[in-house]
Structures are given as C-alpha cells and as structure tokens.
Amino acid sequence: MSTIRLGDEAPNFTAQSTEGEINFHEWLGDSWGILFSHPADYTPVCTTELGTVAKYKAEFDKRNVKVIALSVDGIASHKDWVKDINETQNTTVNFPIIADEDRKVSMLYDMIHPNANDQLTVRSVFVIGPDKKVKLIIVYPASTGRNFDELLRVIDSLQLTAYHKVATPANWKNGDDCVISPSVTNEEIPALFPKGHTEIKPYLRMTPQPN
Ligand code: BEZ
C-alpha cells in the first residue's frame, strides 16, 4: 500500500477493464481523469452512482475529463451488472470499469480501509490532471452515494486555477466571482484580469470568473 498525497504523480498500472486491458497513463493521455472505486457490483448505491456517471458524460467531455471506475469484482460480473445499470438507470454505461480481483490497484491507491471493510473498496475518488499529478482525493463510506455535481464543481475550480490563476472561495459555484491567486502581483492584474477586480484586503482580491 502506498500513501498518495495531493501533488504526487498518480501511480501508473496496467489492469483489465470492461473495455480491455488499460495502461492507466496511456489511457489518460493528455486528458484530466477521474479514478473512482465502488464497493461491489450488484449493490444499490453503486448502481445509482455508475448510472449517474454515464449520464454526466457530456459534462465530463466538455471539461476534457476521462472517467474510470473500479471494484474488486471480475470482468464477467461487471459486464453482467452493466446490463442492470443500463436497465434500471435508463442509461448506457460509457466508461471502463476496472476488474481489480487481485486488489493490485486498490492497494496501490489505498482504496481498501480495513477498519471499514477488509475485503471491499471504499468510495475513493482521485482527480488527476493532464500532468498526471493528483489534484483531489475524496473518500466516502460505502453507505453514501457520491455527489457528482460536487465533483464537476471541483473540476471547474481546479481548471480555473490551472488555466486562469484564480482560486475559488467558499461555496463557490460556476459563474461566481473568484479569488485572484496570491502568487499574482498587483502589477500583473490588469493584463490577467481585464474584467476588473476588487481589493477587499491586500491578500483578498476578487475578480469576475475569467473564463
Ligand atoms: C451499495 O452500493 O448500495 C452498498 C455497497 C456496500 C455497502 C453498502 C451499500
């Protein structure tokens, strides 16, 4: 097991998936990525989660994000369960699901928390940038389905930081004012933020969302 922290390179691996063998870094290419684990196939919360992710494909595509799921079940189980997801969630699963039967990837990404369950993965989420660095880690318990709107919100924030030198304040949502990154000097502001800015304190400078 390794400890993965923000800013670390996302460990590479090769694994079997519902879309064939995947080398994780090659599969990511120049995209952003979401690697997320679920506890088990044929479970109710997971069924709703994977259906929801399939429905959000256009939102992920818009943000240049590739999504890949994982559990410790096998390929045959995944493929059979996908039929149920499609039927019950009224969707078509359109992303690969890793079959991590030997728990190689789960251990690499510390997705098994033995005091919660020593056999199954928890609901881990890793957001990975095009530089292959880990940008976000969230861990949910098995009993709580994830909020994928929140995941899109965080990706929007991460991409604003990456491409526009802003951070996002508490409870920020797409379209709200942003915080000018502390690394930006006052002299740089006019060129970087033509929409204008407000200095509330020298360390708290707001600007309309730049993109
Ligand atoms: C579920 O996906 O519904 C689930 C999985 C494991 C434990 C509890 C719920």
**Phi, psi dihedrals of residue 167, rounded to the nearest 5°:** -115, 175
What share of the chain has pLDDT > 90, as a percent?
99
Residue of the CA atom closest to atom 7 of ligand 1: 142
- Residue from 10, 46, 112, 178 carrying the catalytic annotation: 46
Mutate to test the pocket of ligand 1, among 81, 88, 143 (most ligand atoms within 8 A of CB): 143
Residue of the CA atom closest to atom 9 of ligand 1: 143
Residue of the CA atom closest to atom 1 of ligand 1: 45
pLDDT of residue 2 exceeding 90 = no
Mutate to test the pocket of ligand 1, among 37, 38, 42, 45 (most ligand atoms within 8 A of CB): 45
How many angstroms does the Cα of residue 9 sit away from the middle of ligand 1?
30
pLDDT tier for residue 90 given thresholds of 50, 70 and 90: very high
Q: Measuring CA to CA, which residue among 88, 108, 89, 90 is closest to residue 98?
A: 108
Mutate to test the pocket of ligand 1, among 37, 38, 43 (most ligand atoms within 8 A of CB): 43
Ligand 1 atom showing the smallest separation from residue 47 Cα: 2
How many angstroms does the Cα of residue 144 sit away from the middle of ligand 1?
8
pLDDT tier for residue 9 given thresholds of 50, 70 and 90: very high
Whether the CB-CB separation of 110 and 1 falls below 8 Å is answered with yes
CB environment 5-26: b (16+ within 10 A), e (fewer): eeeeebeebebbbbeeebebbe
pTM of the model: 0.96
Instruction: Convert the pLDDT of each residue in 158-202 to its tens digit.
Output: 999 999 999 999 999 999 999 999 999 999 999 999 999 999 999
How many angstroms does the Cα of residue 45 sit away from the middle of ligand 1?
5
Catalytic: 46?
Answer: yes
Rounded to the nearest 10°, the torsion over CA 137, 159, 30, 132 is -30
Whether the CB-CB separation of 118 and 112 falls below 8 Å is answered with yes
Instruction: Convert the pLDDT of each residue in 26-44 to its tens digit.
Output: 999 999 999 999 999 999 9
pLDDT of residue 1 exceeding 80 = no
